[in-house]
């Protein structure tokens, strides 16, 4: 960091800046930003970076994009990694990028399965579904019950509560009480 004096006597710090950008599908922007901007604000705070969504332009191929600025390469790289991880999760849950769609048509959503979990009062045998889970530890050391085939996470009563990714439990946005 270099400090210079301005012509009016102000001490001015010259700080190097690094930046990156990340394109996201328009349908995934809200997922990446999070409720009231909470996700992006948390990443920006943790990584000591400036992160802001930008309007689509020719540079981004018509996609909205995030600009990420920081004073170190490591901070910008970590913020980029966290954003791309969330964007990939959005794509996994709501596929848009690698789908073939008829012209002027919306992407066809993935089929949904009706999930019936064994509980203390099990439903009739024809409606049951068994899921084999293993105990894993998340990044905070908590034990989570994970279906290794799908990385879905269940609570002790058999209720689907989220997805396990890189040691983090990603909660379901449609989770009910």
Q: Give mean pLDDT, residues 22-42.
A: 94
User: Domains of the chain, with CATH numbers?
Assistant: 2-93 (3.30.1370.10), 125-171 (no CATH)
Residue 22 has pLDDT above 70, yes or no: yes
What's the whole-model pTM score?
0.53
Calpha distance 42→33 (Å, rounded) = 10
Q: What pLDDT score does 175 carry? A: 46
For CA atoms 46, 51, 52, 55, the dihedral sign is negative
Average pLDDT of the chain is: 81
């Amino acid at each position: 960091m270099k400090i210079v004096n301005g012509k009016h006597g102000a001490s001015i710090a010259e700080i190097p800046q690094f930046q990156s950008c990340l394109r996201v599908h328009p349908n995934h922007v809200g997922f990446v930003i999070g409720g009231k901007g909470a996700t992006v604000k948390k990443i920006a705070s943790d990584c000591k970076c400036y992160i802001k969504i930008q309007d689509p332009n020719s540079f981004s191929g018509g996609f909205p994009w995030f600009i990420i600025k920081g004073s170190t390469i490591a901070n910008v790289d970590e913020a980029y990694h966290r954003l791309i991880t969330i964007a990939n999760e959005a794509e996994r849950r709501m596929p848009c990028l690698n789908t073939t769609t008829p012209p002027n048509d919306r992407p066809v959503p993935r089929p949904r399965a009706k999930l019936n979990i064994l509980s203390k009062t099990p439903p009739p045998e024809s409606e049951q579904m068994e899921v084999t889970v293993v105990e894993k530890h998340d990044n905070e050391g908590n034990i989570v019950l994970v279906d290794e085939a799908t990385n879905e996470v269940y609570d002790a009563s058999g209720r689907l509560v989220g997805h396990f990714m890189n040691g983090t439990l990603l909660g379901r946005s449609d989770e009910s009480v």
